[in-house]
């Protein structure tokens, strides 16, 4: 029995050394951008860097990238008149390539009217119900996710630039608090995985820094575009917690805080992830 | 879901040149293995056949099976001997056919 325990211990030691090598080997290849002073990371790394070269190739080719099917659907929707006002997105905003450039990179944004921040999904639905007098789209509906991806795509390559000061600062603090609060039966916070253990291999995948620059993202697992709040829900479900509701104040605060954690990263929408 | 398929091939080619053709079509590819919230099987609905013709002659065809993921991407090569039109067709289980065309000319 003694001998058996010894060999087990040895095996564990070997495995630890091996996984240590594997992790450092991978890190060396992951390119990021230097973080601003006072940031939690030294280097901010996009989730792209944690994916296999095949998945990256799929994202890099605009024809192969299945996320572009959504972009094309939304390109048509942009011009489609809906609602009792007889308007389309285009009636007010004109050509999305110019009017929406940079919009998606700066979301969530403070709304004076609502006295709270709004994200892209909410802004699209505000436009629909207030200006077009059309039915707002349901969260997770194909239309809303497609349109969100389409607007975000107009900022592709531009750095994420959210404002966190002024009226946004209590929201930022709330988001930060959620990020560091352990939840669920597994008792894990966002930070437990994405801050302390990113780069390590978990659940048959490499843990990323949990950046939001590629959202909505085409997940190969789901074979469709996934909006950010659905991913948040998924993470909370995985730690066996009760997720907040999509587009709730909690997720909105978290979206703001997570966007700040990736400040300066290029927008990649539609990205391709596992 | 009558989206336009995405197709990429060169606008022109030299006579006898082998060109690469990339296609991507939007389709759910429901395998027939999944169950809905009530436990009932969701019926199979996939694209079961893809064909490509050039000036009426078959260039490439394949059968697709339920294990193929949504939005099937198909890439293949073809030799271009003359100017003409590539015709692409994706056949759905329910009989509908998604079609597309691309023209190619010969380089002088």
Check which CATH number belongs to the domain holding B41 and give it: 2.60.40.10
Residue B3 pLDDT exceeds 80:
no
| Cβ-proximal residues to A90 (8 Å cutoff; 6+ apart), any chain | A78, A79, A96
How far is A83 from chain B, CA to nearest CA, in Å? 21
**Closest by Cβ to B26, choosing from A64, A69, A220:** A69
Q: How far apart are the first and last CA of chain B?
A: 40
pTM beyond 0.90: no
Burial of B39 (0-12, 13-18, 19+ CB in 10 A): exposed
* CB-based contact A66 B22, cutoff 8 Å: no
Local mean pLDDT, 10-residue blocks, chain A (274 residues)? 46 44 53 87 90 89 90 91 90 90 91 92 93 92 93 93 91 94 94 91 89 93 92 94 94 94 92 92
Shortest CA distance from B69: residue in chain A:
A223
* CB-based contact A72 B22, cutoff 8 Å: no
**Closest by Cβ to B73, choosing from A64, A72, A73:** A64
pLDDT value of position B66: 92
Give the ipTM of the model, two decimals please: 0.75
Residues of chain B found within 8 Å of residue A72, distances taken between Cβ atoms: 3-4, 6
Cα–Cα distance measured from residue A33 to residue A213, given in angstroms and rounded to the nearest whole number: 13
- The 3-state secondary structure of A54-82, one letter per residue: HHHHHHHCCCCCCHHHHHHHHHHHHCCCE
Residues of A annotated as catalytic (active site), given as ranges: 235
Helix A67-78 and helix A142-153, axial crossing angle in degrees, nearest 10: 90
Residue B32 lies in a domain: yes
* CB-based contact A63 B3, cutoff 8 Å: no
Domain span at residue B66? Answer: 6-106
Does the N-terminal peptide bond of residue A44 adopt cis geometry, omega within 30 degrees of 0? no
Strand order in the sheet with B17-24: B6-8, B17-24, B73-80
Nearest to A176, CA basis, from A158, A195, A157, A160: A195
Residues of B with CB under 8 A from a CB of A: 3-4, 6, 8, 22, 24, 26, 29, 69-71, 73
pLDDT value of position A2: 45
Task: State in words which class domain A68-153 has.
Answer: mainly alpha
| Cβ-proximal residues to B98 (8 Å cutoff; 6+ apart), any chain | B2, B5, B25, B27, B47, B89, B90, B92
Shortest CA distance from B72: residue in chain A:
A66
pLDDT value of position B4: 81
pLDDT value of position A35: 85
* CB-based contact A72 B8, cutoff 8 Å: no
Q: Show the tokens assigned to A169.
A: 């600062």
Tell me which CATH homologous superfamily contains domain A14-64+160-273.
Cytochrome c-like domain (1.10.760.10)
Tell me what percent of the residues of chain B surpass a pLDDT of 70. Answer: 97
Domain tally for chain B? 1
Residue B1 lies in a domain: no
Cα–Cα distance measured from residue A71 to residue A58, given in angstroms and rounded to the nearest whole number: 15
User: For residue A120, what is the enclosing H or E element?
Assistant: helix A120-126
* CB-based contact B71 A73, cutoff 8 Å: no
How, if at all, do strands A116-118 and A109-111 pair?
Answer: antiparallel
Shortest CA distance from B3: residue in chain A:
A73
Domain residue extents for chain A: 14-64+160-273, 68-153
For residue A27, how far is the Cα from the chain centroid?
Answer: 21
pLDDT value of position A231: 94
* CB-based contact A73 B73, cutoff 8 Å: no
CB B25 within 8 A of CB B70: no
Under the banding of pLDDT at 50, 70 and 90, the label for residue B54 is very high
């Amino acid at each position: 029995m003694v001998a058996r325990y010894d060999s087990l211990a040895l095996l564990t030691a070997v495995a630890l050394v091996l996984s240590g090598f594997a992790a450092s080997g991978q890190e060396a290849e992951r390119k990021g951008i230097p973080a601003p002073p006072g940031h939690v990371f030294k280097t901010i790394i996009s989730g792209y860097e944690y994916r296999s070269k095949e998945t990256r190739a799929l994202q890099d080719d605009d024809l192969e990238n299945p996320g572009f099917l959504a972009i094309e659907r939304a390109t048509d929707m942009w011009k489609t008149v809906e609602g009792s006002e007889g308007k389309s997105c285009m009636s007010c905003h004109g050509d999305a390539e110019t009017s929406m450039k940079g919009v998606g990179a700066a979301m969530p944004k403070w709304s004076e009217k609502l006295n709270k921040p709004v994200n892209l999904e909410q802004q699209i639905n505000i436009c629909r119900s207030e200006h077009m007098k059309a039915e707002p789209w349901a969260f997770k509906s194909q239309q809303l996710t497609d349109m969100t991806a389409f607007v975000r795509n107009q900022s592709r390559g531009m750095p994420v630039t959210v404002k966190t000061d002024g009226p946004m600062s209590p929201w930022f603090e709330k988001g930060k608090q959620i990020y560091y609060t352990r939840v669920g039966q597994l008792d894990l916070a966002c930070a437990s995985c994405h801050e302390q253990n990113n780069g390590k291999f978990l659940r048959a995948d490499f843990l990323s820094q949990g950046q939001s620059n590629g959202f909505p993202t085409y997940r190969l697992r789901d074979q469709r575009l996934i909006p950010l709040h659905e991913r948040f829900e998924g993470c909370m479900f995985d730690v066996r917690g009760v997720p907040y509701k999509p587009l709730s104040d909690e997720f909105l605060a978290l979206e703001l805080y997570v966007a700040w954690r990736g400040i300066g990263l290029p927008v990649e929408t539609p990205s391709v992830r596992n | 879901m009558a989206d336009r398929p995405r197709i990429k091939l060169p606008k022109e080619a030299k006579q006898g040149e082998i060109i690469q053709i990339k296609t991507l079509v939007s389709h759910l590819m429901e395998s027939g293995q999944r169950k809905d919230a009530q436990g009932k099987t969701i019926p199979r609905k996939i694209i079961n056949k893809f064909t490509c013709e050039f000036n009426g002659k078959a260039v490439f065809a394949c059968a697709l099976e339920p294990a193929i993921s949504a939005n099937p991407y198909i890439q293949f090569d073809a030799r271009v001997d003359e100017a003409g039109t590539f015709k692409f067709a994706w056949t759905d289980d329910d009989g509908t056919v998604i079609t597309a065309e691309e023209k190619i000319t010969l380089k002088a």
